Structure 1
């Protein structure tokens, strides 16, 4: 503890000791005040200014040190100075004293409390940051809450001193008025309890509800002000319109239909979004095939002399599309129509908070053309458009009588109570000189590849880039992965990035970090012309040139917010392209919500589904009850070998946020099942609150990490500590046992040594071994 804090504590302790030991506190009683009031009043009449100064000094000191006596001082103020003068003097003296107590509490205790209860205090501070003034005002208006406790507790939060002072002065005025007025009739008072009658306390309680009621009224007024600019329909076609048929949109419409709301789901392209068609499903299908091939190449590890698989790369990609087709019915129009959802294919534009215009055209498609520029064409139905390297199959969904002519576009306007924007995200393609002359793939278009890529260049060392780089490497491609940062998978701890890099290099992947693509060109050689990427070091300006025949851009994804009418409505878009939303996933137009990639802060399918519950329930029932979205236990995984899975904070994030923690680690090299599977590499790394088994975060690197981390997600969600995991029976031999062994490592590190020493003596006594 700092010397200045020690000095303040000693001085405050000395004053408090003197206050009680020297019987000073007896002077601050009702009987003492009544006995001496005439002398005090006479002295005040002779020394009016000095009396005000001394009175305020005593009042401020008592309040600042949280000593008993503020009530008696308030009564004395009314008795000596009268009603209005007393109210002014006491109001300022009590506010100054409360502010000093607030500052002292913050100076002495806040750092220690933050270190011990960082997570809980962070939640409180988020609420204080948004509505701290309302909280404080409500507490000040209800005198059943001791003011000195409010002063000290508020000092532990991050409410500003100016806000605390201003709100306290206003909030304490009603109680100040009551006590000053009671002091004017001091001779009639028999006890302090008589000042605040049950009726008066009830009135104050109602008054304390006023700020909350006022807040609600202001919200209604604000909502009406926003919505008044738009004509409200007398009748609505739907309770809810969801724009986007990906993970977020599907879950939102499913929930709405399940609670018997009339809901429309508008999708411009394919149901299932990128997860089904270009993301999770195809990537995991490709990764599975790659892992089978990788394991066969490691046949010697499993006791075989040699392993070999004959395969055709086109057949592997055909399997990927078969998997998509097999999963497709789960997200199909037929299924959701059967659930009660009206499914509409077309381009949606929000024209008002109550209206969505849909432009339907079964034959209007976005076509990727060489070199993968995007054009929109209206094509005859039942045609297949093939481009290099992109391929789009276009089929008529509602064939007309004359199939030689495309159907005409139709525009229809739908009315709705609420809207959810769930339009997902698209691959980010940077503006690099020469790129427009190169055929390239993104995570959306790579699934149309048929020819085996010989030399593949992957730009981006995040989860998507790493997964696809390793998968294609398993199929024999010469893969080079380029990351502009200093390491792969920058959101993970450095040791994770290093382990992944070592595995990649052992896999035959060339890993280049700290380099930025500056331009693309074609290099002429004797046997042809080859595309090349020219890299420049982010630090020393060194250059590298990488030749390739296949380019994959995996530099992240940008939210799809264009063309929806959001800008025209004035809906706020943040710098990262996501829609600005509140705790309830509402936009600045109160009946328009968002979920999934367009909402951020995570771009995971399971997060999109998680958000959709909150968005749909708040959109449908927000007038009755609203639910804040909860991001405390969002897990994620990168499906490489070894898998990397995480929930909560990792070590890097905890250090960055100055959150104290302990680390417990269990290496999978000691796990029987990992050894049996020849997968004995990786670790379980747990961050806990110092001295406690409460879990702050978990990182698992190893085989099936994405599966075995689920136990920690459950534990964190429901407040279960490592002792609970340790006492849970785990099947032997399984990879999930790693969780129990990791909990055991924590227990060993926190063994009660003194108790064990006494137990050892007990056992010796039982053996008569003295």
Structure 2
């Protein structure tokens, strides 16, 4: 705690202590006010300005220090100054005092609370930033809520002080008027509890509920206004139409059908979307073949003598397509039809929020979910049109192994394909404008991957800006620049892996005038609604994450909110989102990285365990990598985990579960892990944290205890030993 905070805290504690030590509360009682009313009134008549100033200062002190007596002071305002002047004085004094308490809470405790519980408070903070004034207003209207608690709690949130002041001023006014008016009839008041009758309390409760009801009504009116321009059918063919049969669309449809809704799923290309046909499945199949080739090259490490592998590239690609075909039934029209989904192959066109046209037929629907995914981004580099390039969508059509492959992009897709093609015998040059691979990950993770790539013969050109492509006599070159120096890279085949762009064109989205974000994704709210309340979007087309598992995660919310949102809507939970880059070594992460924690000014501790020390990793000749856990300082609460190593994508699952259900490192340490397995690395990481947080003072006392036990004579019960032989 800095010097300023210490001074403020000392001042507050001193003033509060004086209040109780000198029993100042006796002067803020109803009985004292009743006894002294005439004297106070007389003084006020002789000194009106001084009395008003003294009254306001005392009121500010009482509310600012959260002392009991504000209700009596409010009555005093009516008794001394009358309804109009009393209401004005009390209104401003109470708001100023409340704001001082708010600021004191913010200065003294906000950073500590947000640092310690920031991860849990993200949703609350976001809600306060969006609608904090609205909910504060509702609370202020109901005198049943202790206002001093509201002052202190709101100080811990991100709401602006000016907003707090204005809303408090307005929200407390009705209750202030009631109390000040009662004060004008002070002689008739026996107790504070008598001021608010049950009927009056009920009225205030209704008044507090009014903003919530009003907001609900406004939402309904806003929804109707957004849809007013469109002709709503009197009946509907479907409860839900889903456009796009990738991960997001499939799961959305499956959930809708499971709830017995009538749902139509439209796909213009292939069921399964990118993940099955051009993304996760083929890339992992390719990586598996590449890893087998690499293991063959490492045969000597395992005591085996064998020739260097000869890669049959067409056979490798044939295996990739065989894997796709083997998984296709999982996402097929036949399977989803059996599940109750009406599947249509064709290009969908959204006519309006209620109608979708496909294959010349117009389908009416109460709700639409857009799950059209994303496509590889093609950068506008001069000369690129002269080069036959591939993307992560089209590279699977390649038949023969490239001789010199240039991969543009150092993110997860670029890195996975770089290593896969390199291990399959292709000379690969990887170029990226970032100074390191996988810039979203911490530098220590990137470094291990870069070292492995260089060890395997990949040519890395990091920190290079691609300036232009040239094509001459069938020879392709890339002109790039680094630190002001140009360099030319010759290649035969180009693979672009510089990101993906949301698919928002070609299916009538422009007919709806739906807003998009700067990055091209469809703008949705916390419930995945677009600017039209019955049109939802999920998956890559909506973001913010472009992973198959997050698309499936969003799909539940899109399906449930679209079908049952009139009763209850659910905000998407993004608190624990894991991912893995399937290079070798794999890089897996969940939660915060060190880089992000520093950028967001979040306090953290780092615990690190080197997998090179793990028995199973040594036995498998995969003794490399690390487990890095970020925790709240002094606590075992997990903020984020990065794992680099063999099967890191499997190891991270334990931490995903722990973070989801608020389990700390002590729980992981206390869980039995099978020996010898790679999962023991998670337990050993927890053990490293525990060892670093054992109290040195406690260990000193334990050491003294053991020493005392060694030097304390043992008392034998001789009588118990008498009569017993050795055989006994």
TM range, smaller chain: over 0.9
Partner-residue secondary structure (3-state), 1:512: strand
Partner-residue secondary structure (3-state), 2:175: helix
Partner-residue secondary structure (3-state), 2:368: strand
Equivalent in the alignment of 2:476:
531
Kindly indicate whether residue 209 of structure 2 is the aligned counterpart of residue 209 of structure 1. yes
Match of 1:592 among 511, 521, 535: 535
Q: Distance in 1 between matches of 2:435 and 2:657?
A: 34
Q: Distance in 2 between matches of 1:206 and 1:307?
A: 83
Equivalent in the alignment of 2:97:
97
Q: CA deviation at 1:768?
A: 2.7
Partner-residue secondary structure (3-state), 1:572: coil
Q: CA deviation at 1:720?
A: 1.0
Kindly indicate whether residue 122 of structure 2 is the aligned counterpart of residue 173 of structure 1. no
Equivalent in the alignment of 2:55:
55
1:472-491 deviations in Å (ceiling 9; x for gaps): 00011110000101110000
Stretch of structure 1 that moved more, 46-55 or 141-150: 46-55
Contact residue 252 and residue 559 of structure 2 kept, 8 A: yes
Equivalent in the alignment of 2:381:
432
Contact residue 311 and residue 424 of structure 2 kept, 8 A: no
Equivalent in the alignment of 1:518:
467
Q: Distance in 1 between matches of 2:266 and 2:602?
A: 44
Q: Distance in 2 between matches of 1:567 and 1:66?
A: 55
Kindly indicate whether residue 364 of structure 2 is the aligned counterpart of residue 415 of structure 1. yes
Q: Distance in 1 between matches of 2:252 and 2:343?
A: 13
Partner-residue secondary structure (3-state), 1:532: strand
Stretch of structure 1 that moved more, 69-78 or 455-464: 69-78
Match of 1:707 among 650, 675, 690: 650
Kindly indicate whether residue 276 of structure 2 is the aligned counterpart of residue 276 of structure 1. yes
Contact residue 241 and residue 416 of structure 1 kept, 8 A: yes
1:227-264 deviations in Å (ceiling 9; x for gaps): 12111101101000000011100110011111110000
Equivalent in the alignment of 1:670:
613
Give the TM-score of the pair, scaled to structure 1: 0.91
Equivalent in the alignment of 2:228:
228
Q: Distance in 1 between matches of 2:610 and 2:138?
A: 52
Q: CA deviation at 1:523?
A: 4.8
1:267/1:733 CA distance change after superposition, 3 Å: same
Equivalent in the alignment of 2:335:
335
1:436-472 deviations in Å (ceiling 9; x for gaps): 1111110000001011111110000000000001000
Aligned residues: 713
Match of 2:395 among 442, 446, 457: 446
Equivalent in the alignment of 1:402:
none
Partner-residue secondary structure (3-state), 1:290: helix
Kindly indicate whether residue 69 of structure 2 is the aligned counterpart of residue 120 of structure 1. no
Match of 1:633 among 576, 586, 589: 576
Give the TM-score of the pair, scaled to structure 2: 0.96
Contact residue 402 and residue 493 of structure 2 kept, 8 A: yes
Contact residue 311 and residue 425 of structure 2 kept, 8 A: no
Q: CA deviation at 1:24?
A: 2.7
Partner-residue secondary structure (3-state), 2:545: coil
Stretch of structure 1 that moved more, 326-335 or 149-158: 149-158
Kindly indicate whether residue 406 of structure 2 is the aligned counterpart of residue 463 of structure 1. no
Q: Distance in 2 between matches of 1:547 and 1:530?
A: 7
Partner-residue secondary structure (3-state), 2:240: strand
Matches within 5 A, 1:487-636: 487-523=436-472, 529-537=474-482, 540-636=483-579
Contact residue 293 and residue 311 of structure 2 kept, 8 A: no
Partner-residue secondary structure (3-state), 1:117: helix
Q: CA deviation at 1:131?
A: 1.1
Contact residue 269 and residue 346 of structure 2 kept, 8 A: yes
5+ residue gaps, structure 1: 361-410
Q: Distance in 2 between matches of 1:761 and 1:7?
A: 41
5+ residue gaps, structure 2: 714-728
Matches within 5 A, 1:349-388: 349-358=349-358, 360=359
Contact residue 78 and residue 184 of structure 2 kept, 8 A: yes
Matches within 5 A, 1:111-150: 111-150=111-150
Q: Distance in 2 between matches of 1:192 and 1:89?
A: 20
1:304/1:634 CA distance change after superposition, 3 Å: same
Contact residue 298 and residue 307 of structure 1 kept, 8 A: no
Contact residue 350 and residue 511 of structure 2 kept, 8 A: no
Contact residue 664 and residue 746 of structure 1 kept, 8 A: yes
Equivalent in the alignment of 1:726:
669
Matches within 5 A, 1:634-653: 634-653=577-596
Contact residue 407 and residue 496 of structure 2 kept, 8 A: yes
Matches within 5 A, 1:689-768: 689-768=632-711
Q: Distance in 2 between matches of 1:425 and 1:318?
A: 26
Q: Distance in 2 between matches of 1:605 and 1:357?
A: 27
Stretch of structure 1 that moved more, 265-274 or 140-149: 140-149
1:20-56 deviations in Å (ceiling 9; x for gaps): 3333321111111011101111222223333222222
Q: Distance in 1 between matches of 2:457 and 2:90?
A: 78
Q: Distance in 1 between matches of 2:709 and 2:648?
A: 46
Partner-residue secondary structure (3-state), 2:428: strand
Equivalent in the alignment of 2:293:
293
1:687-741 deviations in Å (ceiling 9; x for gaps): 1111111111111111111111111111111111111111111111111111111
Q: CA deviation at 1:769?
A: 4.9
Stretch of structure 1 that moved more, 11-20 or 298-307: 11-20
Runs of 4+ in 1 over 6 A off after TM superposition: none
Equivalent in the alignment of 1:257:
257
Q: Distance in 2 between matches of 1:7 and 1:309?
A: 73
Equivalent in the alignment of 1:403:
none
RMSD over aligned CA atoms reads 1.5
Q: Distance in 2 between matches of 1:765 and 1:531?
A: 81
Contact residue 662 and residue 688 of structure 1 kept, 8 A: yes
